[in-house]
A and B are shown apart, each in its own frame.
Chain A
Amino acid sequence: MSAVMKDDTRARPLVSLRNLNKHYGDFAAVDNIDLEIQDGEFLTFLGSSGSGKSTTLSMLAGFETPSSGEILVDGQSLVNVPPHKRDIGMVFQRYSLFPHLSVRDNIAFPLAIRKQGAAETARRVDAMLKLVRLEAFAHRRPAQLSGGQQQRVAIARALVYEPRILLMDEPLGALDKKLREDLQDELRQLHRRLGITIVYVTHDQEEAMRLSQRIAIFSHGRIVGLGSGYDLYQNPPNAFVASFLGNSNFLRFTADGNDAGRFEGQAVAVRPTPGLAAGQEALIMVRPEKALALTVEQATREPLPAGWNEVGATVTELLFLGESQTCHVATQGGTPLTVKALSAAGMPMQPGQPVRVRWAVADACIYTEWAKSDLSKGAGAH
């Protein structure tokens, strides 16, 4: 159980999805997914609606049958096992509590099905009520609870029979922001305490970052990025993930070799990239907070450090956002860029003023292949 905490322990895969497909007519909702889920892991499926994340979860739960492919748990195929025999817990978006049963009976339901003794049932239900801090509400009906309380009942109901895997389908989507953050903290602690494997579905990237050890980013039925939130954000594997997660600046340049090129006629250095050949078009991706904007005076005062690039631009808009400030600029060639800095650092420019935008070569990712649609933000304006 404690193995979960140590990242260096090589956990064995508990769930394997192999070449998993789900087609509705011609439409591929899930397109050939391969994924290993480690025992005790908190994995999040992140994607916009229609990306296939919920369909994949439904196939894990057994509500949808794969068109082809395998779902293995501990090496055993689950494809032909009906949901009620999978021993998986699930928390639904709209709680889906039994409206005719009290909180206590809702939580006891899975145990009643399993014909547990009365004493054992009472003991486990009490423990669950304590875990989700709803002892005082045990005799209420779901309709008499708030959304957050209902969701806690749903979590207790899903955990009471100690399933090995807990599936959560946007469980906090219907709650307001404050409550959502509280429950996120509770969930993280719960996972740490119980060591259960959790597969979580959300379209909220901040939630995914906050909760999970690994994130699988879904797009058009495929997993386009898989890794820790840190890795996916700092080193996105492709332009789609870069644009989907957080904000990003894309600079289209022509390579002169595998580590240099020209952006709108100005020489730029790039990370040595295998496969990048002279004359090839490629993309530089810089996170707004990794870029600096300097006025012309500042730029002359502070020489460009080694390993940095600089391009000229004009300020189009300056926004004050409390703890941070963003500065929207446009290069001579018309490429829009965003620079973000902490308010304390200060950006003393005015709209219309010329600025120099700088970034470290090491902080910029290079993509040689991309689709035009990858660069437009798919979901969540932040």
Chain B
Amino acid sequence: MKVAINALHTAQGAAAGSGVPGATTRRPPLRQRWRGSRNLLPALLFLGLFFFAPLIGLLLRGVLEPVPGMGNYAQLFANSAYARVLFNTFSVAGLVTLISVLLGFPLAWAITLVPKGWGRWLLNIVLLSMWTSLLARTYSWLVLLQASGVINKALMAIGVIDAPLEMVHNLTGVVIGMSYIMIPFIVLPLQATMQAIDPMVLQAGSICGASPWTNFVRVFLPLCRSGLFSGALMVFVMSLGYYVTPALLGGAQNMMLPEFIVQQVQSFLNWGLASAAAALLVAITLVLFYFYLKLQPESPVGNAR
């Protein structure tokens, strides 16, 4: 994912880099500039047929069904139950991002700092957890968190609580489960960024008079920014559209947007409202992606290497 985003970013940068001087100095003939673009045709055809066409079809349904107009969107924002779904979606995504950053940052740092062999093992564990079936991992959280689950039983046995905590079939369960699932997505880009930081720069910081804490805040953290940013954004965007984990660990009364879309389509056959909600999700993602592209070129480490 990170690779894909980076590739896209590089492509953008390259386009901007070659486009600007071309515009100001000598503009090569159009035919020459587009030479070789024919090679793009198969990919464009594929994307057009299997991505853009269904997407446009979906977006059209949002404004055409059941009657043409913006009625579906108005409904989405006006109905308090629907607004609540939106609010849930954003707060869960935000909370999941925050928690996975807080947990992933030390983990990425540890992987970078420990001797190479150990670091690889830690990274393998992270990867392994990512590659294990999503369903299996989500159900195992169900086993751990449910009222008669391991955690509740253990806590009751040692007398910390009297009645089982409600940690599942509500947003708490969703946040716990999703934070766990998202950690690799923050650790991988962050670890790559940290690996690229020259440790001598930190030594330079400390000889310049920076205490370990100042060095962390003023040198290390700014240098991690690009990885932190791309990781956090990826987690946030993925969390907005995540379905399986909220469906299994969440409750019926506190839905997130993807569950809402599924419900509208499967239970009520309300394609119009579902399309509007999906379009909203796409729009939010695009806006976030725009900010990502805007901020990314400033990344010092990414550009230097």
Please list the residues of chain A having a beta carbon within 8 angstroms of any beta carbon in chain B.
61-63, 82-90, 92, 94, 96-100, 109-110, 112-114, 141, 143, 154, 157-158, 161
Contacts and interface: CB of A to CB of B under 8 A. Distances in A.
Given A84-B209, A113-B208, 13 more contacts: A83-B207, A84-B211, A88-B207, A92-B200, A92-B203, A96-B201, A99-B301, A110-B208, A113-B210, A143-B300, A154-B204, A157-B204, A158-B208
A61 B208 CA distance: 11
A83 B200 contact: no
B207 A98 contact: no
A63 B203 contact: yes
A90 B201 contact: no
Given A99-B223, A100-B223, A141-B300, A110 B201 contact: no
B43 interface: no
A106 to B, nearest CB: 9
Contacts of A158: 207-208
B301 A94 contact: no
B207 A100 contact: no
13 contacts: A61-B203, A63-B203, A83-B206, A84-B211, A84-B214, A88-B207, A96-B204, A97-B201, A98-B219, A99-B223, A99-B304, A110-B208, A143-B304
A113 B201 contact: no
Interface bracket on B: 20 to 34
Contacts of A90: 204, 207
Given A83-B207, A88-B207, A110-B208, A96 B200 contact: yes
Contacts of A109: 205, 208, 210, 218
B303 interface: yes
A89 B222 contact: no
Interface in B182-239: 198, 200-201, 203-212, 214-215, 218-219, 222-223, 225
Of A62, A87, A96, chain B has the most CB atoms within 10 Å of the CB of: A96
Contact of B303 (A63, A88, A143): A143
B300 A84 contact: no
A374 to B, nearest CB: 34
Contacts of A113: 208-210, 214, 218
A112 B219 CA distance: 13
A161 B207 CA distance: 11
B251 to A, nearest CB: 44
Majority secondary structure of chain B interface residues (helix, strand, loop or mixed): helix
Report the 8 A-B pairs with minimum CB-CB distance, sorted nearest first.
A100-B300, A96-B204, A99-B300, A110-B208, A96-B200, A113-B209, A83-B206, A90-B207
Contacts of A110: 208-209
B25 to A, nearest CB: 21
A114 B209 contact: yes
A90 B201 CA distance: 12
Contacts of B215: 84
Contacts of A86: 207
A154 B205 CA distance: 12
A84 B207 contact: yes
A83 B304 contact: no
A83 B210 CA distance: 9
Interface in B120-179: none
Given A84-B207, A110-B209, A113-B210, A96 B300 contact: no
Nearest to B198: A96
A3 B207 CA distance: 27
A86 B204 CA distance: 13
Nearest to A93: B200
B68 to A, nearest CB: 52
